[in-house]
Structure 1
């Protein structure tokens, strides 16, 4: 079980949150090819180590925020 620290509510159980995917993914322009668009929608980084993620506090303040999570140990720290 992970303990995620909400910037507004403090540390909470992971069941209160929903994963929002990789943080820092910029929006693609409208004039991209189908292949580029498919890559944008479906392909994300999957590193071993620290990874920037977005989380949504569903059962709390209903706020989106970013954290860094270590994908092997699930240690969580605030995003820079």
Structure 2
């Protein structure tokens, strides 16, 4: 087997296996996880019934940012950092 064929085989192997590393190992969200996320969003002011409003994509993104900030603050409080 010549060098070009060996190189081609190596590159093909790398390309075929790289997809396995790119996939997320996480499982799909469960119903309980989705319910918890909706409860967290509602706690920071997001109301799914108002999703028809002209601010729809922005209001959920704002709520998600507030939830993320709340989680950061909680993590900092638990770890003793401020």
> What TM-score, normalized to structure 2?
0.27
User: Which one has a larger percent helix, Structure 1 or Structure 2?
Assistant: 2
**Structure of greater relative contact order (alpha carbons < 8 Å, 6+ residues apart):** 1
Larger Rg: 2
